Structure 1
């Protein structure tokens, strides 16, 4: 009888990429694969394009750390999502649920637990996010990217696996990337990634310093949903909301990266040996996880860190040039990083846990 797995996770691309890396393994192994996410989140956009995977949308509320009138309505949405997930999972009868986190995962994990379906969580950051903290009591196992995360988890559930990187990113072509962006090989390429939802402050600073940047670099700017500035017309500056199929080629041609410090992205840059300038989300914008991620990478010699409170055109350009001028040092440090076969470990753990 064909085994079935349901994946969940969403709200941002970082809560989907590990699932996207795992899904082909299960399809190749003959499993039936379903995905449960929000009714209109980025996870639906990313997963719907994968052949052989059926997507199910459920209601979800956002777990905010600040006052918002939506906080009054959202508990009812979460309850509705739990009921929807419970019914769907009872109907689908999966052998196991794998959750990457994000607020959408909470009702799905609870729905699986109510159906006595074993749950495995994945935590990318140094400290567990709020959604995963809520889900840990319902999980059989928690896989971690950073070894330090284990001290925040029940010992019997914790499994340090290391970074899970999408295999297709390793197959990018720098030549195809330059053709896609209409760039040459005469000038180095700077890639800016503010996360799938973008970063207004980073976007504004990049554009304010663009005339100085293009004197030394060709610039690819992944600026986030609805944040393209159509008034800028420059052959050495290409902006996109988000890249999917073309991302591997664009990353292959990239010389250095400016990025937020979401764990999935920065580990992908690490595996691809891309020197980084990290601009983590502030504590006012987040729970501080990106600050810890960035500090860990700087300590290991993989990146420099520019805190958003200090972000100006001058500090940004100065730090970009410093990272580029010392790029070989960062690459040498990255080459010393020992990568576990995390993908195979998690794949095997899921198969062993499946009922």
Structure 2
């Protein structure tokens, strides 16, 4: 069966942690007919329509204790399952691929109900609720960390790492005024809970600048520090598109611990200080960060236990010990899977073709999908 004969629905929505790995895999599925499933007004609305037809549904997540809100969410889920099921049947799709999150629930259930191959990727060390609940209905579940499989004992898991955007795999030039011999510290506040971290960084900056370091501080959206320091080697930006080039040049990163961020650190060999977002669902950022910290590729600190004075000294100690930074870089790199997108695309292709081949005799007798 040729790739051109395979029609795939990709369900990936919300944050870059879900959307970017899915795009990386889609780019490797040469010749496939790919369409996308998303929700209104999220990242996929900006990125996906340029390349793939986008179908929009409304689906929410389960938050807090059981109550009327839960019943409303369940009602919405059932409605979205039937909506996706109709899409899959009318579009004559052959398979479903999702990268987790709320959007994956109706995609998995609809695909499973039609007997389609369903492939799921989980990038976090601790699987999300949807992955834990629905992974048994998937043909295979690819995981970004080895340890994730122990939480999915009822699923068929395979460790393939997390796909990374193509630009992280090749050297990227920078357009920022960073002196050649200046150590570069990259701080990524992130869009969630960035205010506290950004303000702490501002208290540390002057001591780091005094060593000759350059700091690029990505504050995220409207989280600009109130008392910003003016210095040619302290560059403050709300966002920056070329994160690949920035991390490739960085001597040290200070950031949150979303799975996509950590994967980018692993691919670019960037030592890091990780400060997980303290209100992340099920504290999953802490468990992500602990994978790198346990491998001695990063330092891990809880935000509530961290002070500006302590962080200042930790960074100064690292800057004064280049060999330690190089060891951390090597340890971080050992956790990354550079060809993850290729491996995942191959695994999807093999599973889809095997399931289609197995169903063909039955289809020739019984007609179309039920």
**Normalising TM by the smaller chain, what interval?**
0.7 to 0.9
Give distance in 1, aligned partners of 2:37 and 2:135: 18
Q: Tell me what 2:325 maps to.
A: 327
User: For 2:194, which of 199, 203, 226 is the aligned residue?
Assistant: 199
Q: Tell me what 1:151 maps to.
A: 150
Give distance in 2, aligned partners of 1:192 and 1:67: 38
Q: In the comparison of the two structures, how many residue pairs are matched?
A: 345
Give distance in 1, aligned partners of 2:345 and 2:128: 22
Q: What residue ranges of structure 1 are gaps of 5+ in the alignment?
A: none
- The Cα of 1:208 is off from its aligned counterpart by 3.7
User: Quick check: 1:189 aligned with 2:184?
Assistant: yes
User: Quick check: 1:256 aligned with 2:252?
Assistant: yes
- 8 Å contact from structure 1 (residues 6, 36) kept in 2: yes
User: For 2:345, which of 313, 330, 347 is the aligned residue?
Assistant: 347
Q: Tell me what 1:272 maps to.
A: 268
1:281-314 per-position Cα deviation (integer Å, ceiling 9, x unaligned): 33x5421322222222112111111111112211
Q: Tell me what 1:44 maps to.
A: 45
Q: 93-102 vs 310-319, which deviates more? A: 310-319
Q: Tell me what 1:303 maps to.
A: 298
Give distance in 2, aligned partners of 1:136 and 1:88: 22
SS in 1 for 2:281: coil
Give distance in 2, aligned partners of 1:228 and 1:62: 30
340 and 262 in structure 1: CA distance in 2 versus 1, 3 angstrom threshold: same
SS in 2 for 1:53: coil
SS in 2 for 1:209: helix
47 and 202 in structure 1: CA distance in 2 versus 1, 3 angstrom threshold: farther
SS in 1 for 2:285: helix
Q: Tell me what 1:142 maps to.
A: 141
- If the length of structure 1 is used for normalisation, what is the TM-score? 0.86
- 8 Å contact from structure 1 (residues 196, 242) kept in 2: no
115 and 223 in structure 1: CA distance in 2 versus 1, 3 angstrom threshold: farther
- 8 Å contact from structure 1 (residues 277, 323) kept in 2: no
Q: Tell me what 1:99 maps to.
A: 98
- The Cα of 1:34 is off from its aligned counterpart by 1.3
Q: Tell me what 1:6 maps to.
A: 9
Q: What residue ranges of structure 2 are gaps of 5+ in the alignment?
A: 357-370
Structure number with greater Rg is 2
Q: Tell me what 1:23 maps to.
A: 26
350 and 172 in structure 1: CA distance in 2 versus 1, 3 angstrom threshold: same
Q: Tell me what 2:121 maps to.
A: 122
- The Cα of 1:18 is off from its aligned counterpart by 1.4
Q: Tell me what 2:34 maps to.
A: 33
Q: Tell me what 2:287 maps to.
A: 292
